[in-house]
Amino acid sequence: MLPLAVTAAVVVGDHVALRAAAERTSAQQAVLWKGDWLEVRGDKKGWLKVWDHRHERGGWVLAKNVKAIALEEASAPAVRAVVDFLRDTPGQESLGIAYAAIYLKVAPKGAIDAPLLITIGSFAERLARRASTSSPTSGDTAAAEQLEVARSWGIVLQSIEQPDGAHICYDGAAFHGGLALGPGPADAATAVLALTEPGCEPQGLGATARVARDEARLALLERVSPAQAGIGAVTANRLRIRRAEIGAQLAWATARRGDVPAAAKQAEQAFAMLARVEKTDLADDDAPSYAAAAVGVAASRWAALPALPVPKLALSLALADGEPGETCVTLVPKQGTASTPKCTHGQVWPASLRTSADRSTAVIAVEPLPGWLELWLFRRGDDGGWMIDVLPPNTDGPDRGYVELAGFSPDGTRAVVVRESRTAGVVRRSFEAITLGTLAVDRQSANLGGLGPAARWASAEWRQRTLSLR
């Protein structure tokens, strides 16, 4: 934190000129932004003579563009009132950070509490989000400059590359400090949601590091119950959505480590969190997060589902180790030729095995990446051998998505499948009636009823477990 003078002048607007002399026509020394602070050294004709510590130069500013604050304990109540007022005022984050930093200097002993620190974190997190989404056409051209003001007050902000571009991220120091002071439920929820924001995950983490990060994020979220008094319905929904999303990712990772019972528990908890989201209280801004979490939970749903009883003469699966980290799948009929083993580094969900009535087709779900579930389709050829096709959630590449079998036609020649995936932040769902011999899509609809008579092929068992009908 920068050292403060006895009297500080806080800049309260943007594009404020620091002039070489107390005249509007004098040379401009620097451009100042909300939250910049200046050491006051004199005044003249409505101008203040100041020293600008951020730019390390002196000059003059119009007194109407700044707020002078005496750096003494008597100023603390008024400064804190401004901090509290600015907390929920969009666009004033750098100014709020400045006032909060001044309050840290002038507050009496014992007055630094959890709400103050979480307010500082909220300012920093909101400013980072503004800077991440600002552009020359967005109208928020001040965000980048205000970031530098925040940094001058000791706020640590960094740029992290993500698939959709660079995100400005706050290091969360004030949130951690606030949580250590035992905040109330609403403030605690604000802190843990900010600290578990998925847009600020470092890229290139190894599998072990990613699991450790997700476990730490989930532990933070579990410190705050969505049902706790004092937490509003919108915030409660956000907590449930975030817990569902992270739990589904951990279910995949835990299953890959071979701990199937723990993976089942995590998947079931993720499903329960998603099921408890109150849709009537779901904010418009949270709808994309809810849809994306639902896709992730659906992809790992098989971890918590039991296998169907194996009927007489049914097909079965044989799983074996392949190359290091690989699982090889073989479809074994009670009579006839087994399929050629097909291997994957992903998670095979044996409980997903489903067969057509004539045993000529079988499907199994494989999750090669967390939140990306494919369908392996085994089809018996005329020679009795097996052909294997992979149906992905979409053809745009893995982001987040799943594809699942809803049911076979009575004669086993066709099927209904559901694909749901996220592309460029938008989740889309498609119900498709396909011919198994060619994999051609005969009919497609955004809802099951749009498939006409083919909708009747959807099994009761699928209707009970699927998230696609949510």
Task: Output 299 or 308, whichever has higher pLDDT.
Answer: 299
| 208 exposure class (CB count in 10 Å sphere: 0-12, 13-18, 19+) | exposed
Task: Examine residue 94 and state whether it is found in any structural domain, yes or no.
Answer: no
Task: Examine residue 171 and state whether it is found in any structural domain, yes or no.
Answer: yes
Band (pLDDT 50/70/90 cuts) for residue 201 is: confident
Look at residue 432 and tell me whether its pLDDT is greater than 90: yes
Look at residue 139 and tell me whether its pLDDT is greater than 70: no
E strand or H helix that includes residue 292 = helix 287-299
Task: Examine residue 101 and state whether it is found in any structural domain, yes or no.
Answer: no
Cβ distance 224 to 231 under 8 Å? Answer: yes
For 321, other C-beta atoms within 10 Å of its C-beta total: 10
CATH label of the domain that carries residue 20? 2.30.30.40
Task: Examine residue 408 and state whether it is found in any structural domain, yes or no.
Answer: yes
* Structural domain ending residue among the three candidates 21, 49, 70: 70
248 and 137 share one domain:
yes
> For the residues 314-324, what does the mean pLDDT come to?
90
344 and 197 share one domain:
no
Look at residue 134 and tell me whether its pLDDT is greater than 80: no
- The boundaries of the domain holding residue 127 are 110-303
222 and 344 share one domain:
no
349 and 453 share one domain:
yes
Per-residue pLDDT tens over the stretch 245-280: 999 999 999 999 999 999 999 999 999 999 999 999
Cβ distance 172 to 220 under 8 Å? Answer: no
Q: What is the DSSP string of 402-414?
A: EEEEEEE-TTSSE
293 and 430 share one domain:
no
Instruction: Report pLDDT for 382.
Output: 84
The DSSP letter of residue 313 is: T
277 and 329 share one domain:
no
Domains identified in the chain, total number: 3
* Structural domain ending residue among the three candidates 279, 303, 327: 303
Please report the beta strands in 333-371, taking only residues with DSSP state E, as ranges in sequence order: 342-344, 347-355, 361-369
314 and 388 share one domain:
yes
Instruction: Report pLDDT for 294.
Output: 97
Band (pLDDT 50/70/90 cuts) for residue 374 is: very high
- Gap between the Cα atoms of 187 and 184, Å rounded: 6
Task: Examine residue 40 and state whether it is found in any structural domain, yes or no.
Answer: yes
277 and 402 share one domain:
no
Backbone angle region of 241, left / alpha / beta, with phi > 0 → left and psi within -120 to 50 → alpha: alpha
- Residue appearing with tokens 């889309």: 428
Per-residue pLDDT tens over the stretch 308-318: 876 655 788 99
> For the residues 44-71, what does the mean pLDDT come to?
95
400 and 352 share one domain:
yes
For 163, other C-beta atoms within 10 Å of its C-beta total: 8
Task: Examine residue 343 and state whether it is found in any structural domain, yes or no.
Answer: yes
- In the three-class reduction of DSSP (H, G, I as helix; E, B as strand; rest coil), residue 297 is classed as helix
Band (pLDDT 50/70/90 cuts) for residue 132 is: confident
The DSSP letter of residue 225 is: -
362 and 236 share one domain:
no
Look at residue 400 and tell me whether its pLDDT is greater than 80: yes
The overall average pLDDT reported for the chain is 93
Task: Examine residue 202 and state whether it is found in any structural domain, yes or no.
Answer: yes
Cβ distance 149 to 92 under 8 Å? Answer: no
Cβ distance 363 to 371 under 8 Å? Answer: no
Question: CA torsion 97→98→102→103, rounded to 10°?
Answer: -40
pTM: 0.89
Look at residue 332 and tell me whether its pLDDT is greater than 50: yes
Task: Examine residue 361 and state whether it is found in any structural domain, yes or no.
Answer: yes
Per-residue pLDDT tens over the stretch 73-120: 999 999 999 999 999 999 999 999 999 999 999 999 999 999 999 999
Sign, CA dihedral 355-361-362-363, equals negative
117 and 242 share one domain:
yes
129 and 218 share one domain:
yes
